[in-house]
Amino acid sequence: MKNLILISILLVAVWSEVNAQALQNVDALKFKELIGKEDAILLDVRTPGEYSRGHIAGSTSIDISDPAFVSRINLLQKDKTILIYCLSGSRSEVAANYMVKNGFKKIYNLRAPALMEWNQRGFALEQSSQMVASTATKYTGQSFDKLLKDNKVVLVDFHAVWCAPCKAMNPVLDKVSTNFKGKARVEKVDVEANKEIAAAYQVQSVPGFLIFKDGKKVWSHNGTISYDELTLALKKFL
């Protein structure tokens, strides 16, 4: 019995240490510094209304109160640094602890008073219309197969409308589409509008990229990627 108690204490101690390594609570000054230095995903877990009234530039919006929160969070890259915030620091801390328990490796949470301190220090926020529902094509298995069959080489961008890194890739994809016109098809596929297609090709995170040649998957990449890297990959299959 004593051994079991000792083992339990040790396990709690180990988990606490792992949690401390994976999650750090930082003030607004440190958080702003990290935005400039870290190759990270900036995550806002407030409501769409709060987000539209003012958010940190470049942030991905995933509302912690949304029933889709868990599925959306798990589409983020778990090996990327996450910078997470809300208004007071309470919602973001709950979200951060969930993410640590589900395999995210490094998270910095903007601690209380969180965005209120950010505002007090005069740091910038931007306003925007909250993202609207995706108008992307909804594929069936048959229609997606036809797309692959009708085009010898297809680059597919699996993305989501709430994903800031996905939006950041749009200029790169536009350039690829223009420069490879007549050689390769570039197709954007919204993972939430096309869950069956995303599941069929085991898309684990957004943005995610697949190249198909003659209807068969020949290349994949998770996360953002440079124009040069993307074009180098495409050229191998032309």
**CA distances, 221 to each of 159, 162, 229 (Å):** 12, 20, 10
Q: Residues 6 or more apart from 172 whose CB is under 8 A from it?
A: 225, 226, 227, 230
Helix, strand, coil shares, percent, the chain, to 5: 40, 20, 35
Catalytic one among 76, 114, 163, 173?
A: 163
Catalytic one among 87, 115, 166, 230?
A: 166
163 is catalytic: yes
> For strand 23-26 and strand 185-190, is the pairing parallel, antiparallel, or unpaired?
unpaired
Q: Is 109:26 a contact under the CB 8 Å cutoff? A: yes
**CA distances, 91 to each of 8, 115, 222 (Å):** 29, 12, 28
Q: Is 205:77 a contact under the CB 8 Å cutoff? A: yes
Would you give the end-to-end CA distance of the chain in angstroms?
Answer: 66
Tokens matching residue 213: 């040649």
Cβ neighbours around 138 below 10 Å, total: 14
Q: Is 60:43 a contact under the CB 8 Å cutoff? A: yes
Q: Please identify every residue annotated as catalytic.
A: 163, 166
